Amino acid sequence: MPGAEEGPFKQASNFSVATAEARNLRDLRNRKYGQPIYVSSDHPLARKGQTATWEKFNVRLAVVKFLDGVVLGYDPADLLLPTCFENARPVFEIRTCQSCRAPFTLTQQEVEEKQEPTRCPACLEF
């Protein structure tokens, strides 16, 4: 059943965008079926850098559907949220951490600031 959730996560009324607290699907607590996401992992089948929509989720696996109809499972931490929506389309501002080389998405506030972060949130904690 589309929109049915497992675990402590509930449905959101609108699609989510990246925030300082939640930049990927794993961190997001309120999810909506069809949430646009960006695949930051190249496993499986070399889909890295493509956009898809979230179909089903449990804590360890997120099932996503690509525009060509392919449905694959990913670690929710590898699925980045959009920076914002423009004309009802998701916009992804993705950067690569200078320390660990991991991709991360920018928040709308970071895009508007004069200087964008060069390190991912995980590296900033150290």
Pairing assessment for the beta strands 30-31 and 10-11 based on DSSP bridges: parallel
For residue 20, what are its two tokens? 């300082």
pLDDT at 121: 87
pLDDT at 45: 67
Q: What is the mean pLDDT of residues 83-95?
A: 93
Q: What angle is formed at CA 64 by the lines to CA 38 and CA 77, rounded to 5 degrees? A: 55
For residue 2, what are its two tokens? 């589309």
Q: Kindly tell me if the per-residue pLDDT of 6 is higher than 60.
A: no
Q: Are 58 and 41 in contact (CB under 8 A)?
A: no
pTM of the model: 0.84
Please list, in sequence order, all residues whose beta carbon lies within 8 angstroms of the beta carbon of residue 66, skipping any fewer than 6 positions away. Answer: 47, 50, 52, 72
